[in-house]
């Protein structure tokens, strides 16, 4: 799947920034690929790139309009169809990370056909995966896990990959969600893989490699989330990480979208070790990544110091303070590059 750049980001009328995390993630890591954003009336998210109409975006040279919004169930609202058709009629391809397939919507398929444009459904792929085997394979892996959904697992993995590479490690980022695929150009949206094959897809995504090569695997969901724990567990077993980083957002009391209480960081560490030992008996936690965006700087630093002391692990905010402390922990546990 080759998606033409530059991008025009479609945010629709999403109610908050978390619902636009695909677009925001692309801007944060590939801003030079983004010309602007399209927001419908009522949109409460903003990526920070210029607002444009679809004709303006086409005139500026956008090659693909990215559906940069997410929602529970990955559905495409009917009210967005007209904008997608407009983009196709303006000469752009359209790419989506939603579960709903663009080509299954007659008006969108007809517009793509009459304009000779491409429809990219990033969450769907033509790969055939085997079931997971659990056999130990060469190489090293780190997995981001979370106390909840949308707590920064993707950002943590991307920041860790960047930090390890800058310190001389052989490192690569493994995308497991639609936004990560848009950012990296390769990966598998694991939540669209049939359940029996999730661990096998994770094995394919993080294959045998050199013993000194680190694959940094983007996490999905949470083992404690009643909606999404299945994909989380399959990813854990298939990626068989040597180390994992717990990602957390301190302002929440319940899990996103449900009334289930948020687990503690220690509960996540214990459950990840217990479950992860099935495919890697030596699995261990190497750090805690906290999304402190809701805290002032002094509050954030105090919180990180407290959490780090409580768990005897380096704690940082990947965006505000970088990942050096966790790379130091990896160096101490597994050796320098």
> Would 7-121 and 140-334 be classified into the same CATH topology?
yes
- Cβ–Cβ < 8 Å for 201, 133: no
Query: Cis peptide before 168, with omega less than 30 degrees from 0?
Result: no
DSSP secondary structure of 79-118: GGHHHHHHHHHTT-EEEE-SSS-GGGSHHHHHHHHHHT--
13, two tokens: 């009328």
The tens digit of pLDDT for each residue in 81-122 reads 999 999 999 999 999 988 899 999 999 999 999 999 999 998
Distance of CA 71 to the CA centre of its chain: 14
Closest Cα partner for 38 from 22, 25, 21, 57? 57
Q: Which residues contact 281 (CB under 8 A, 6 or more apart)?
A: none
CATH code of domain 140-334? 3.40.50.300
> In percent, how much of the chain has pLDDT > 90?
87
Q: How many Cβ atoms sit within 10 Å of the Cβ of residue 295?
A: 18
Distance CA 326, CA 57 (A): 41
Q: In what order do the strands lie in the sheet with 93-96?
A: 34-39, 7-12, 64-67, 93-96, 119-121
Q: Is the pLDDT of residue 244 over 90?
A: yes
Encode burial over 85-95: b for 16+ CB neighbours within 10 A, e otherwise.
bbbbbbebbbb
Output the 3-class SS for 263-300. Answer: CCHHHHHHHHHHHHCCCCCCCEEEEEEECCCCCCHHHH
The tens digit of pLDDT for each residue in 137-193 reads 999 999 999 999 989 999 999 999 999 999 999 999 999 988 898 888 788 989 889
Distance CA 267, CA 262 (A): 10
The tens digit of pLDDT for each residue in 262-278 reads 999 999 999 999 999 99
The mean pLDDT value for 310-318 works out to 98
Q: Is the pLDDT of residue 259 over 80?
A: yes
Encode burial over 299-311: b for 16+ CB neighbours within 10 A, e otherwise.
ebeebbeebbeeb
Topology given in CATH for the domain delimited by 7-121: Rossmann fold (3.40.50)
pLDDT at res. 266? 98
φ, ψ for residue 264, nearest 5 deg: -80, 160
Distance CA 129, CA 283 (A): 25
Residue ranges per structural domain of the chain: 7-121, 140-334
The tens digit of pLDDT for each residue in 221-238 reads 999 999 999 999 999 999
Closest Cα partner for 246 from 337, 166, 326? 326
pLDDT at res. 1? 60
Instruction: Give the gyration radius of the chain's Cα atoms.
Output: 20
Q: What is the DSSP letter of 182?
A: H
């Amino acid at each position: 799947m080759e998606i033409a750049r530059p991008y025009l980001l479609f945010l629709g009328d999403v109610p908050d920034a978390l619902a636009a995390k695909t677009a925001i993630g692309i801007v944060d890591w590939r801003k030079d690929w983004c010309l602007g954003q399209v927001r419908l009336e009522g949109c409460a998210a903003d990526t920070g790139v210029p607002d444009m109409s679809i004709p303006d975006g086409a005139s500026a040279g956008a090659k693909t309009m990215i559906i940069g919004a997410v929602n529970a169930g990955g559905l495409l609202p009917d009210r967005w169809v007209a904008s997608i058709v407009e983009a196709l009629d303006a000469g752009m391809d359209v790419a989506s990370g939603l579960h709903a397939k663009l080509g299954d919507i007659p008006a969108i398929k007809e517009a793509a056909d009459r304009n000779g444009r491409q429809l990219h459904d990033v969450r769907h792929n033509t790969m055939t995966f085997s079931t997971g085997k659990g056999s130990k394979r060469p190489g090293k892996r780190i997995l981001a896990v979370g106390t909840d959904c949308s707590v920064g697992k993707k950002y943590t993995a991307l920041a860790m990959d960047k930090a390890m590479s800058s310190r001389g490690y052989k490192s690569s980022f493994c995308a497991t969600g639609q936004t990560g695929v848009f950012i990296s150009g390769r990966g598998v949206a694991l939540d669209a893989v049939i359940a029996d094959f999730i661990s096998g897809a994770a094995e394919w995504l993080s294959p045998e490699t050199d013993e000194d090569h680190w694959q940094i695997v983007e996490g999905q969901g949470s083992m404690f989330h009643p909606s999404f724990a299945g994909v989380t567990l399959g990813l854990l077993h298939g990626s068989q990480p040597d180390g994992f980083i717990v990602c957390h957002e301190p302002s929440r009391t319940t899990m996103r979208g449900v009334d289930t209480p948020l687990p503690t960081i220690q509960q996540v560490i214990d459950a990840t070790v217990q479950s992860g030992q099935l495919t890697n008996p030596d699995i261990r936690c190497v750090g805690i990544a906290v999304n402190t965006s809701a805290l002032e700087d002094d509050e954030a630093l105090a919180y990180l110091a407290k959490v780090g002391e409580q768990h005897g692990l380096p704690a940082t905010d990947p965006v505000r303070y970088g990942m050096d402390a966790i790379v130091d922990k990896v160096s101490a546990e597994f050796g320098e590059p």
